[in-house]
Amino acid sequence: MTKLVLLSDLVFESNDKLDQRIRSLFDSEQPSIGYIPSCSDPERKYFEHTRRYYNRLGIHTMQYYDLDMEYEESTFGSIVECDAIHLSGGNTFYFLSLLQKRNALGLLRSYLKTGGILIGVSAGSILTTPTIEIAGYGEDADENEVGLNDMKALGLVEFEFVPHWDGSEDTLNSLREYTRINRTAVYACQDGGGIVIDGESVELYGNVHLVDYKESGSIDE
């Protein structure tokens, strides 16, 4: 059964219902999380921020798995022993290039299929979708500094995801044009909100708006 979480950001004053729902996905009383950064975090600044977030949920075992400068092939495979894998925020193009370079996309797909939980934040959430093309769309687009050509991502869901939505109608209108051209559906998510996929159910928390070239709707909890 698929267990997948797409977050816009890690906000400590976030949605209590969302936090509780994330915690409920874990069967273990003392779960472990494997953390994959979008690029090396030598001072562990973002890792520590994420660790504090999970500590609030009662999750205290977290391990750092680097795909970049500190990558160790002999130890990276052990990440599948964790109860969940966390994909951090950052530059989506660079992150995907690392996953491709380390042949990690197949490992993550298999991990989810065999009962693991995948939790993405911002760029990490975009990586769970079919393509990261939307990361390069709009005023706040990521820079494709690595010259990435293959935008195909994990493809764990059928929709695309836009984090850090400013809540404006202008942004939604821009996304409507994107979905019309690309014949796709996009969830725009404000910080503090997210999507939880548990089996066949798609649950929206916080201010999340669906933009679909066929139909449109929203939910605000």
Q: Taking each helix axis as running N to C, give the angle between helix 105-113 and helix 92-101, from 0 to 180 degrees, rounded to the nearest 10.
A: 90
Pairwise CA distance, residues 50 & 170, whole Å: 31
Enter the tokens of residue 67.
């795909």
Ordered domains of the chain (ranges, CATH): 3-160+192-204 (3.40.50.880)
Q: Locate tokens 């009662």: which residue?
A: 58
Please give the mean pLDDT across all residues of the chain. Answer: 94
Q: What is the pLDDT of residues 141-197, one digit of tens each?
A: 999 999 999 999 999 999 999 999 999 999 999 999 999 999 999 999 999 999 999
Residue 113 CA to residue 134 CA, distance in Å, equals 25
| 112-142 confidence digits (pLDDT tens) | 999 999 999 999 999 999 999 999 998 889 9
CA dist., res. 205 & res. 196, Å (int): 8
Burial of 211: CB neighbours in 10 Å, binned 0-12, 13-18, 19+: buried
pTM score, two decimals? 0.94
Query: Can you give the pLDDT at residue 140?
Result: 85
